[in-house]
Amino acid sequence: MDSECPVCNHSFDDGPSSRLGRTLSIANDDDVVDKDLTLVSCPSCGTLLSEDADDGFSLETEAAGGEPRQFAHFELQRVLGQGGFGTVWLAKDTRLDRSVAVKLPVRRRGTSKSLVREAKTAAKLQHPNIVTVHEVGEFEGQVFIVCEYVSGLDLRSYLSKGLPPQARVVDLLQGIASGLHHAHENQIVHRDMKPGNVLVDDAGVPLVADFGLAKVVSVEESISSRGKVVGTILYMAPEQAGQEVDQVDRRADVYAMGVMMYEMLTGERPYRGNVQAVLHQKSNEDPTPLRQLRTSVPLDLETICLKCLQRAPGRRYQTADEFCDELQRFKEGKPILARPVSRIEKAWRWCQRNRMTASLTTLFLSSLLIGLAGTTTFWLEARKQTLQANRSLYASQMSMAASHLGVGDIEATRSTLDRYNTTGLKYLRGFEWRYLAAKLNRFEAVTQHGRRVKGLAVSRDGDWWASIADDRFLRVFEFESAKSIREIPFHAGRWQAVAISHADNRVAAGAKDGSVYVWDSISDESKLPTIFKHGVGVQVVRFSGDGKRLFSSGASGAVRVWEVGTWKLVSEIPTGREGLVALDASFDGSVLATIGSEGVIRVWDVDAKNMRFAIRDGRSIQSVALSPSGDRLVAGTRGGYLLMHETIDGTPLFNLNTRFDWISGIRFLGKSSLVALCSSKGVVAIFDLETHQEISDIQTHYGVEGLLDVSKNGSRMAVGSAKGILRTIDTSDFQRALMIGSDEPIFDIDFLSSQEAVATYRDGSIKKLNFEKRTVDLLFKSSDRRPMVSASEQNSVVAIGSAGLPVQLMSSSGKSVATIAELDVDEMTFSQSGKLLIISRSGGPIVGYSIDLNRKQVAKELFSLALPVESDISEQPKVVALALSGDSQQLAVSFSHQQIRVAELSRLEWQNARIALDASGESLVMAGDKIVVGTRGGEVICFDQSAMAELWKIKAYVNYVNDLIRIPGGNAIASVGDSNAIAIWDLENGDSRIRLHRDEHQLFSIAASADGSTMLSAGIDGDARIWRTEH
């Protein structure tokens, strides 16, 4: 298929052979997200083009070689920004010889004319606080919009430097309001006001940008179908976020200014959470008063801001000019016109938002006047509604807490969980709360150091750490409390590297002026540091493990080796002019590994000054660590590969492709075979170098580069991020594996004990997994590709049914304890006590066996239940799933003809009532008086067992529900399906509580421990993962 490049007009074949997949980081107003694109490189000019699903190719943000590109009469020089709307370039207008901003919108079918029309309308706006549109046109099918180039920052970047003074906030808002009022008077509503669409020039004047564009973008891209907050939903007025387009007018822009004002005064946004949470809050809750977050906010400014944020448009300022005048009254010390909301009005609004509760309360009070006859009924109904509301709110809060933890926001996660530490709400806490709390317990302290952490080192015993950032301070913190111990400024430049000796806790710091400072005791401020000159600006410092040597390196030139104490230069390693990315030394300092800026590892004999070998992997190597013995090195690449080589001759030991995009730091955990990796996904992962497997992970930061260091024995770790956040972590439980991997998909998994599981693999093998010892043992190898397996944690026994063979009962040691003469088994399940095993023969009866390992006859037949006769079908349906009640008195059976029947085992009779499904029930749970089924159609449905009536139904997956379990000790169920997450649902109402993500592929099976403290999951990628709620 032929396409034409929009830059050079060259025609070329864009067939499959010329395409490549690529993930780009796309920045929006509040976040950075990864987006998978199909890219095509123009063979003529080298421009990268992205394929649009509707309209072919559009100009991408990168061009080969970084050279300017010609587009129409503009020379595109560099990308200023990119988002869902398209790309903004700094360009030179070759006709008028001036710098301009050229916007190239992403092509969408049927929007070109609308874009041109709206942009031409915006071009009529001429105002000191509006970015001027110079030109609008179309070139080779690509719409372009030319605006004036504003040298400065957008308001989002401006605010990232810290909260501006309140007087400055007022000035900025008045300028923004003035520009918006001018637009409104010209019948133009912005509809996409947010900090990213306000530019602050070098003189501090705010200019509103992107007029006429938001109307197209906001309708199509404000809310993602996957339920994530993107784009401008946080700044949209309730009527706009609800897509009530006919009600959106200039007052929507006033609301957005209120959100911006709230953020500029407090540093917080009025609403937080995912789309559902934000929309619910906007429609039902008032924002927290500003003075509760920051007491320094004047009452009048709080009143003005909250008036802008009124849900009803008629209660806001009706024009931006009214808002501007109100701010002017505040500046001049005059009384403002707006008034705070009274308590009576707040109560009335609460009643309007909570009509059910208010109505029930009113009825209850009325009934007291009439009599006490109906009091009990009303009270119980009110209590029921309150309990349901609490359950729904809890589910929403847990989902929000998981979202906070997923982006490394530890403080917000802890704040959300703490709400359920109160006596009245503790009863709601389930597996998800305990799991998130256990994750938080690993973190000992959190603090902030500048905007970007550039260096980090942990003391020998892990009781304190030192860090440097972009604020010219070397700071020392206590490990457990993050209390600042000492701050050391560098007035002549800045610190660029820091290291701590694990022999005697000496601290070394490298400076930009080429000096190295060493403190023998960092806590004694009376002792001056030893200072010596390295040469060029010092980029890396590192002590040998025995503390006898210090290595220093600059942006170029040799690595210098210093004798600790005398500080004599004992060796120079000629690493070349390229400069170093990282280095590490053996325990005695005799072996040195360096990474050059070109991504090559070189290993040196320090005393001989000879290079032993170089590793040119073809990928950009970013991090390196030498084992405590010095005989092996481990390295991480930008592409997420983990390499290990011998340091004697460079013999490669393994080359592992991890699930990460970038490994930015590596450290050995003491003398063990475990290493900690810091990734660009914000995850610190623990790998076992003996098994070549990831065994644990923890979310520490989000979407940015990270760095880490550990104490001498590896029990304590500090992690810093490019956003300036420092976190300390207790690694004592990292040796307890969280996952055990394999190359074979796992079809089924179940508990054998609290630390052991039995897994069924695609090749027919059944293996025992020990998460404490990180071992895998073969229990049974079946010729059947899909043997039937059921395990009991209570007696540590597993039942195995294979085609043409009797059912085998095996102990956790792999010893056969009984043989049951049942062939061609459809389904099996143990009771909760493990004393009853139910086996469904293919086409035959359902048989129950009592299991007693202390009895000579371990398995004894108790009953045989004939399958129900179905008169309306010719063939006997197949049993698809079994579920026993908690007391083992009832058995629910899902059949292949899309029906569920319940049998009374005490009478060996089938109940007359049945459940009819639209799709086959693939998994089944009996939970008290409820039956929950997961269907082949992707639905999870809950029924009342006595009436067989549907209580709730959710579309959980696109297709299959692969497995469904009840979590003991809580009123919740968990499911897996055609996705990569475990979903936990409230059993009472079906609310989603949390989705636990880890694997990148579909999950097939889950299991819960008998006490409900732990879950297992496994799937197509062969990884078995354990989810613990205890630290």
pLDDT tens digits, one per residue of 518-537: 999 998 888 999 999 998 88
> CB-side exposure of 777: number of CA atoms within 13 Å?
13
Residues 743 and 716 in one domain: no
Where are the extended beta strands (E) located within 175-291? 198-201, 206-208
The predicted structure's pLDDT at residue 970:
84
- Which tokens go with 712? 């001498």
- Residue 219 CB partners (closer than 8 Å, separation 6+): 243, 245
Q: Of 292, 320, 351, which residue is a domain's last? A: 351
Q: What value does the mean pLDDT take over residues 52-76?
A: 60
Residues 676 and 572 in one domain: yes
Residues 687 and 763 in one domain: no
The predicted structure's pLDDT at residue 15:
58
Residues 76 and 89: their CA atoms lie apart, in Å, by 6
Residue 27 has pLDDT above 90, yes or no: no
648 phi and psi angles, rounded to 5 deg: -70, -50
Closest residue by Cα to residue 540 from 583, 604, 591, 494? 583
Residues 643 and 604 in one domain: yes
Q: What is the pLDDT of residues 669-728, one digit of tens each?
A: 988 889 999 987 788 899 999 888 888 888 887 655 678 999 999 999 999 887 788 888
Distances in Å between the alpha carbon of 44 and those of 8, 17, 77, 104, 1010? 8, 16, 18, 21, 65
Residue 168 has pLDDT above 90, yes or no: yes
Q: Of 300, 322, 351, which residue is a domain's last? A: 351
- Report the amino acid identity of residue 768: K
Residues 178 and 37 in one domain: no
| Contact call for residues 299 and 287 (beta carbons, < 8 A) | no
Residue 115 banded pLDDT, cuts 50, 70, 90: confident
Q: Of 148, 164, 195, which residue is a domain's last? A: 148
| Residue 437 is assigned to a structural domain of this protein | no
| Residue 435 is assigned to a structural domain of this protein | no
CA 208 centroid distance within chain = 32
Q: What is the pLDDT of residues 781-812, one digit of tens each?
A: 887 667 889 999 988 999 998 777 889 999 88
| Contact call for residues 410 and 402 (beta carbons, < 8 A) | no
Q: Give 551's strand partners.
A: 542, 561
The predicted structure's pLDDT at residue 360:
62
Residue 28 has pLDDT above 70, yes or no: no
| Residue 425 is assigned to a structural domain of this protein | yes
The predicted structure's pLDDT at residue 733:
73
Residues 607 and 591: their CA atoms lie apart, in Å, by 8
Residue that is written with structure tokens 């325990």 in the block: 587
| Contact call for residues 12 and 5 (beta carbons, < 8 A) | yes
SS3 content of the chain, % helix, strand, coil (to 5): 20, 40, 40
| Residue 356 is assigned to a structural domain of this protein | no
Closest residue by Cα to residue 816 from 870, 779, 784? 779
What's the structural domain count of the chain? 5
The predicted structure's pLDDT at residue 466:
95
Percent over 70 (pLDDT), the chain: 84
DSSP 471-499: TSEEEEEETTT--EEEEEE-TTS-EEEEE
| Contact call for residues 403 and 226 (beta carbons, < 8 A) | no
The predicted structure's pLDDT at residue 1006:
95
103 is in an annotated binding site: yes
The predicted structure's pLDDT at residue 343:
53
| Residue 245 is assigned to a structural domain of this protein | yes
Q: What value does the mean pLDDT take over residues 557-580?
A: 88
Residue 223 banded pLDDT, cuts 50, 70, 90: very low
Residues 294 and 401 in one domain: no
Residue 63 has pLDDT above 80, yes or no: no
Residues 144 and 160 in one domain: no
| Residue 533 is assigned to a structural domain of this protein | yes
The predicted structure's pLDDT at residue 798:
94
Instruction: Provide the CATH number for the domain around residue 112.
Output: 3.30.200.20
Residue 283 banded pLDDT, cuts 50, 70, 90: confident
The predicted structure's pLDDT at residue 374:
56
Residue 193 has pLDDT above 70, yes or no: yes
Residue 6 has pLDDT above 50, yes or no: no
The predicted structure's pLDDT at residue 368:
58
Residue 354 has pLDDT above 60, yes or no: no
Residue 924 has pLDDT above 90, yes or no: yes
Residues 217 and 185 in one domain: yes
Q: What is the pLDDT of residues 823-838, one digit of tens each?
A: 788 899 999 999 999 9
Q: What value does the mean pLDDT take over residues 615-634?
A: 89
The residue count for the chain: 1031
Q: What value does the mean pLDDT take over residues 340-359?
A: 53
Residues 885 and 944 in one domain: yes
> CB-side exposure of 812: number of CA atoms within 13 Å?
17
Residue 19 has pLDDT above 80, yes or no: no
| Residue 436 is assigned to a structural domain of this protein | no
The predicted structure's pLDDT at residue 369:
60
| Residue 625 is assigned to a structural domain of this protein | yes
- Report the amino acid identity of residue 623: S
The predicted structure's pLDDT at residue 677:
93
- Which tokens go with 682? 């914000």
Residues 28 and 333: their CA atoms lie apart, in Å, by 38
| Contact call for residues 838 and 821 (beta carbons, < 8 A) | no
Residue 294 has pLDDT above 50, yes or no: yes
Residues 907 and 967 in one domain: yes
Q: What value does the mean pLDDT take over residues 959-978?
A: 92
Instruction: Provide the CATH number for the domain around residue 768.
Output: 2.130.10.10
Residues 496 and 368 in one domain: no
DSSP 891-955: EEEEETTTEEEEEETTTTEEEEEEEE-SS-EEEEEEETTEEEEEETTSEEEEEETTTTEEEEEEE
Residue 405 has pLDDT above 50, yes or no: yes
The predicted structure's pLDDT at residue 357:
60
Residue 773 banded pLDDT, cuts 50, 70, 90: confident
Q: Give 48's strand partners.
A: 41
Expressed in angstroms, the distance from the first to the final Cα of the chain is 57
- Which tokens go with 599? 């991504």
Percent over 90 (pLDDT), the chain: 52
Residue 213 has pLDDT above 80, yes or no: no
Residue 36 has pLDDT above 60, yes or no: no
Residue that is written with structure tokens 């830059």 in the block: 7
Residue 279 has pLDDT above 60, yes or no: yes
Residue-number span of the structural domain to which 417 is assigned: 361-429
DSSP state of 230: -
Q: What is the pLDDT of residues 439-494, one digit of tens each?
A: 888 888 888 887 788 899 999 999 999 999 888 899 999 998 889 999 999 877 88
494 phi and psi angles, rounded to 5 deg: -155, 155
Residue 372 banded pLDDT, cuts 50, 70, 90: low
Q: What value does the mean pLDDT take over residues 347-359?
A: 53
Residues 63 and 123: their CA atoms lie apart, in Å, by 29
Distances in Å between the alpha carbon of 45 and those of 12, 17, 60? 11, 18, 13
Residue 13 banded pLDDT, cuts 50, 70, 90: low
Residue 220 has pLDDT above 50, yes or no: no
Residues 314 and 378 in one domain: no
